[in-house]
Structure 1
Amino acid sequence: MKESDKYHKWIEWSEEDQVYIGKCPDLITGIHGENPVTLYRELCDVVEDVLVHIEAQGHPMPLPQIRPMQKVA
């Protein structure tokens, strides 16, 4: 399992913005795009990049807090 697989990621539609929003709250606030499938791939890439940066800085990896069945605000 890759380190990034430990972090919950999802895509949701934003009526307000009229775009899909990709989220991984343990690591980033979000990214947006027009195509949910493409956006999910981009989100996974961004999460990987964030983790590489954290590791390169010598910081400990954040503990995953978000769980799929947990209510997310």
Structure 2
Amino acid sequence: MNAAARYVKIVEWSDDDQCFVGSCPGLFYGGCHGDDEKSVFAELCQIVEETVKLYEAESRPLPPVTSGYDWANTIMNTTTTS
């Protein structure tokens, strides 16, 4: 497994922007957007890979990983108890 796989990648619909928005919380601010969900995810994965390579090229420590926290169930439990 490569380092980029250790970061959660989120693609969600934005009513404000009327498009899909991709982000990787904890690794970088911003992200990518577009009309096709699969294309946005593919672009997001590429951006994450490039960001990890930049950190490594600059010998900077990567931010804490965001995978392994069962985000889907955490989100579901939060929205059902609110």
| Common fold by TM > 0.5 | yes
Alignment partner, residue 20 of structure 2: 20
Give the alignment's Cα RMSD to 1 decimal: 1.5
Distance of 2:65 and 2:48 partners within structure 1: 12
Normalised TM-score (structure 2):
0.77
Provide structure 2 residue ranges, at least 5 long, that are not aligned to the other structure. 76-82
Alignment partner, residue 63 of structure 1: 64
Tell me by how many angstroms 1:34 deviates.
1.0
Normalised TM-score (structure 1):
0.86
Alignment partner, residue 33 of structure 1: 34
Distance of 1:57 and 1:25 partners within structure 2: 21
Length, aligned pairs only: 71
Answer 1 or 2: which has greater strand percent: 1
Larger Rg: 2
